[in-house]
Amino acid sequence: MKSGDCTRFQFCPKCGGRLTVKKLDHLPRQVCQECGFIFYQNSKPTASAIITNSQGQLLLVKRNMNPRKGYWDLPGGFLEEGEDPIKGLKREMKEELNVNVKVGSLVGIYIDDYSCSYQSKTLNIAYVAKPLKGKMTPMDDVSEIKWFSKTKIPWKQLAFPWMHAVLRDWLGR
Ligand SMILES: [Zn+2]
């Protein structure tokens, strides 16, 4: 079975009936042959932080897990179902950097693809954030944290394409 197509799931999560592909709203969607359940899919939301120090340097974190292990990422992560993005970002900063942050203005929202497989499209929400007191420590799925000057951002070692867009928007502010 090909990844990235919409035939990955075989059975209805509601009744166990077989799923079939139908064009609805001009898009192929999986529909249950038994109960008519439509298996809508959406991009998965994430929240990330743009954190700078007193010299205006940007904080990036090195990914400790795949996809893109060893590449530089913005600190952040996937939101849980129903989770407020600002609360989710604060939770992620505690998990990843062991720090409480004050979340500031929205930088933007960017569509991307996490792992180029089925159901891996992401909707990435980026905020400016400010760490409150305490020392940031790499934890969880981060192996290293590092400050980069605006002229020395490691563009070729960034984990995901959307980071290029968000960092350009942030630099152009
Ligand atoms: Zn069904």
Distance between Cα 111 and ligand 1 center (Å):
30
Q: Determine what percent of the chain is predicted with pLDDT higher than 70.
A: 96
Residue range 131-155, pLDDT digits in tens = 998 889 998 789 999 999 999 999 9
Residue range 55-108, pLDDT digits in tens = 999 999 999 999 999 999 999 999 999 999 999 999 999 999 999 999 999 999
Ion ligand 1 nearby residues (CB, 5 A): 12, 14-15, 17, 32, 34-35, 37
Decide if pLDDT at 34 tops 80: yes
Decide if pLDDT at 1 tops 50: no
What is the pTM for the complete model shown? 0.90
Q: Which CATH architecture has domain 45-150?
A: Alpha-Beta Complex (3.90)
Which one, of 60, 65, 64, 74, lies nearest residue 127 by Cα? 74
Distance between Cα 34 and ligand 1 center (Å):
5
- Structure token pair of residue 69: 């292990």
Distance between Cα 41 and ligand 1 center (Å):
16
Return the minimum-mean-pLDDT range out of 14-18, 96-100, 130-134, 169-173: 130-134
Residues 40-66, buried b or exposed e (16+ Cβ, 10 A)?
eeeeebbbbbbbbeeeebbbbbbbbee
What ranges do the domains of the chain cover? 1-41, 45-150
Predicted local distance difference test score (pLDDT) of residue 5? 53
Distance between Cα 28 and ligand 1 center (Å):
17
Distance between Cα 13 and ligand 1 center (Å):
7
- 1-41 CATH pick, 2.20.70, 1.10.3470, 3.40.1350, 1.10.10: 2.20.70
With H, G, I as helix, E, B as strand and everything else as coil, classify residue 56.
coil
Distance between Cα 20 and ligand 1 center (Å):
11
Which residues are 61's β-sheet partners?
A: 73, 145
Predicted local distance difference test score (pLDDT) of residue 4? 47
Domains 1-41 and 45-150 share a fold: no
CA 91 to chain centre: 14
Distance between Cα 23 and ligand 1 center (Å):
17
